[in-house]
Structure 1
């Protein structure tokens, strides 16, 4: 009801299996998953959906244990929010996820300038910044929108250390002190897809994309 008051059409499901069926039938713009669902919990549902789609997923839970949070992110969620929360905060997080995944344009801004290069190449990794496709050795690598935005930041400055807070601001649009575990887990997921050795951890600072050689 709160989301509908803010102008979001909402479809609901009572359990994880029904949620999977509704996702397949309706293909919504974004999924809001509760961790504690009957029949198939939110983490399991997230994994099932990630096998079929890169749709943006926001996980919500009353659990604040780091293991529970990381489990949701590692399952493929783009972000998470812990209960209790104000409806306005939830709406803001949803709009942020939609904006950064390109589902809705950011109000009051000019269209981004055309990239200087259509294809960025770093140590055999090719990122087409117009088609938003990633290839390694000619093989296309499927990435979620959040993983793509993260890789865009790394390939824009190979060899340069990017702090976690910088990545939170540029990739997640968070200008406040958000949980840096979101960055860490997404970097792990990106490493698993493009090669663990491509992104180096700089302890106490952040991460950098390694140059060739």
Structure 2
């Protein structure tokens, strides 16, 4: 059966007929796309929102069930602030060094501090002051001094140790060893404030 169009005034060939059908099918799909595409996008957005709500619900449930962990975190945070104070407190550190030296029978030869430096630890910027401390004493007393430094209440890091035999013959019997200690004393920059 041949379809007649008034514009053409002739029947359509098979090829033209197929083109008209293909064009009609394309128009139908094009229309369906504009009808359903916004709904598909809306459904996708709703799925994302539902996933976010589900994730939030899981987080809140975890926080609710583990509320005691919050108290432990506050205690840990408070402890860290004591170990890494908000100011340099170099004088307190020097007093402690002198106390350790007296307790261990060690003689302090020199304490040299360098310029303040910064370091990133666990995504937190902290300042530190490098010190070079030279002390003299017996081997056991020097070990005792280092032990007290390692157990210090503030966070510090011993970067290096250098042990030499004492060169001064007049004090060699009393202080046979000379120890050079390189240590970093940490503190928080003044702009970081913590509430606890």
For Structure 1 versus Structure 2, the TM-score category normalised by the shorter chain is under 0.3
Q: Which has the larger radius of gyration?
A: 2
Taking structure 2 as the reference length, the TM-score comes to 0.24
Q: Which protein, 1 or 2, shows the higher relative CO under an 8 Å CA cutoff with sep ≥ 6?
A: 2
More helix by share: 2
Taking structure 1 as the reference length, the TM-score comes to 0.22
